[in-house]
């Protein structure tokens, strides 16, 4: 993934059986925001706002995108730590039964975990929000302001470009195990909001522009994504 012609994140290898990963690189140094959208996003949108989608779409590569307006409750993860996908889940999911092969990765950034569920095909579904810059670079006073706002409303809205990976930990897809679904939102705008929601354990909205072209998922998986996100 590139930002301003610089490599920002290393993504999962195209091989459909390789481990699902993301890793921050040297190009992830700035946020993407628009002054005209700040107040509206701060107050929150009540639907798929076409003007805001057009603003952020103007900085994304030409392609097909599925816009989604989600309500999430993020948990901040600082790897390696308890609940870190890379330390706990990844080695377990991409590991042979005899323990002969274990994948170890390090994302080089704090990130947020949100929804975890089981897809209708039995696959594990994991959702992540990855900031462009670490939370330590957020503005403290702005974070505190959003903590107050989120105490009375879940409408404040962050914006992300997202990709969906559907992978199989085994070479033989027919033999199992069930597929792994990984939905990753790379945060463009709303870094302060996201930290405020995580520190107060409160929901906020996320406007996701999911790249169909960049996703390692077939059209059937993409069509089922909205329903999957509504599963308990």
pTM: 0.88
Q: What does the pLDDT profile of the chain (232 residues) look like in tens digits?
A: 666 677 667 777 667 667 777 887 776 667 778 888 889 999 999 999 999 999 999 988 899 999 999 999 999 999 888 899 988 888 888 765 555 455 667 888 999 999 999 998 888 999 999 998 999 999 999 999 999 999 999 999 999 999 999 987 764 445 455 789 999 999 999 999 999 999 999 999 999 999 999 998 999 999 999 999 998 8
Q: How much is the pLDDT for 120?
A: 87
Q: How much is the pLDDT for 194?
A: 97
- Domain range summary for the chain, segments of one domain joined by +: 36-229
Q: How much is the pLDDT for 47?
A: 93
Q: How much is the pLDDT for 221?
A: 92
Q: How much is the pLDDT for 172?
A: 46
Buried b (16+ CB within 10 A) or exposed e, 24-51: bbebbeebbbbeebeeebbeebeeebee
Q: How much is the pLDDT for 31?
A: 76
Q: How much is the pLDDT for 105?
A: 77
> What are residue 204's DSSP bridge partners?
72
Q: Are 211 and 63 in contact (CB under 8 A)?
A: yes
Q: Are 69 and 78 in contact (CB under 8 A)?
A: no
At 115, give phi and psi (nearest 5°). -75, 140
């Amino acid at each position: 993934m590139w930002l301003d012609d610089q490599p920002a994140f290393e993504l999962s290898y195209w091989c459909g059986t390789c481990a699902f990963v993301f890793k921050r690189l040297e190009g992830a140094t700035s946020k993407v925001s628009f002054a005209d959208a700040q107040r509206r996003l701060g107050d929150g949108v009540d639907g798929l706002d076409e003007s805001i989608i057009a603003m952020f779409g103007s900085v994304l590569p030409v392609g097909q995108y599925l816009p989604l307006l989600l309500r999430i409750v993020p948990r901040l993860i600082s790897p390696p730590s308890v609940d870190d996908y890379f330390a706990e889940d990844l080695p377990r999911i991409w590991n042979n039964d005899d323990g002969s092969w274990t994948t170890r990765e390090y994302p080089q950034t704090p990130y947020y975990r949100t929804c975890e569920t089981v897809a209708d095909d039995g696959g594990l579904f994991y959702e992540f929000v990855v900031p462009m810059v670490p939370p330590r670079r957020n503005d403290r006073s702005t974070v505190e302001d959003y903590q107050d706002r989120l105490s009375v409303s879940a409408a404040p809205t962050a914006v992300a470009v997202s990709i969906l990976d559907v992978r199989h930990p085994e070479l033989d897809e027919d033999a199992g195990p069930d597929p792994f679904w990984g939905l990753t939102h790379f945060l463009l705008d709303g870094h302060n909001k996201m930290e405020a929601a995580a520190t107060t354990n409160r929901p906020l909205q996320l406007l996701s522009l999911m790249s169909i072209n960049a996703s390692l998922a077939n059209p059937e998986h993409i069509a089922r994504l909205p329903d999957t996100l509504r599963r308990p």
